[in-house]
Structure 1
Amino acid sequence: MLKIDDPAIVAEVTAMSDRYEAALMANDVAVLDALFRDAPETIRYGVGEVLYGFAEIAAFRVGRAGGSPQRRVLRRVVTTFGTDMATVNLEFQREGATRIGRQSQTWLRTEAGWKITCAHVSLMADIS
């Protein structure tokens, strides 16, 4: 039977999510690239872009002047499925903004460690 939310696996994925968030805020492109699975099946839907495959994701990051807008995480839910698959869903707010953002990631344990295989970022309607 598949174990959901094994505390040890939740802790591993939470640490990876923390690493991702720190790299995103520092615009550490090397770490961000290292956290995504290097495969043509990897997908990232951003607020303004649709990226299929690791190569497109990496090219976007290199071409993104200044990196991601600074933000704070409002809420995060980590759910694990067995020992090798997890989702991380969070709500965030960009500095100086009123809109709430949402980020969903699917993480897979690979031979090289935990990697993001699918990501989606969106912004809700303005609440002001």
Structure 2
Amino acid sequence: MTEDKHAAVQPVNEAAVLEEVTALCDLYEKALMDNDLDTLDALFWDSALTLRYGVGENLYGIAEIRDFRKGRTGGSPKRDVLRRQITTFGADCAVCDLEFQRPGAAVKGRQSQTWIRTAAGWKIAAAHVSLMGTSH
């Protein structure tokens, strides 16, 4: 197996970057559970290129994401985070993946977010939320 010649160019999980992104992922989870639309909106990249694939919707661009959140009565269903993994790549890109379970639900859910550092700070450029199904 050959060594990845790009690995040294983009350090993985540099402590300071990981700390920044971890704090933002914590803030996101709190805002989601509190249905704090202003904070949720501020954490997403303000771009037509931002996307969010949800359990029952595909949202393209920040306008669709904002409209979805505003129209979701009561906000996101409550959930418990079971496991979270954050990986940073260099100083400007990170991913946050987590498993969650809603109280009383038998099925687990998954969430992935791609975070990028912009002129306005760290923002979510892409997100995907899904519930576990049976394979095949």
TM-score bucket (shorter structure): over 0.9
Residue of structure 2 equivalent to 1:17: 25
**Unaligned residue ranges in structure 1 (runs of 5+):** none
Where does 1:1-128 land on structure 2 (aligned, <5 Å)? 1-125=9-133
Instruction: Give the residue type in structure 1 aligned to 2:84.
Output: R
CA distance in 2, matches of 1:4, 1:79: 7
CA distance in 2, matches of 1:41, 1:92: 26
The alignment covers a number of residue pairs equal to 126
1:101: how far off? Answer: 0.3
1:54: how far off? Answer: 0.2
Q: Indicate the RMSD between aligned Cα atoms, in angstroms.
A: 0.8
**Unaligned residue ranges in structure 2 (runs of 5+):** 1-8
Instruction: Give the residue type in structure 2 aligned to 1:92.
Output: F
Instruction: Give the residue type in structure 2 aligned to 1:115.
Output: K
Instruction: Give the 3-state SS of the residue equivalent to 2:10 in structure 1.
Output: coil
Instruction: Give the 3-state SS of the residue equivalent to 1:118 in structure 2.
Output: strand
1:111: how far off? Answer: 1.2
1:3: how far off? Answer: 0.6
Instruction: Give the residue type in structure 2 aligned to 1:102.
Output: R
Identity, % of aligned positions: 62
CA distance in 2, matches of 1:43, 1:2: 25
Q: Deviations over 1:98-125 (max 9, x none)?
A: 1100000000011111100000000002
Q: Tell me the TM-score normalised to structure 1 length.
A: 0.96
1:95: how far off? Answer: 1.3
Q: Tell me the TM-score normalised to structure 2 length.
A: 0.91
CA distance in 2, matches of 1:72, 1:7: 26
- Structure 1 residue ranges, 4+ long, deviating more than 6 angstroms after superposition: none
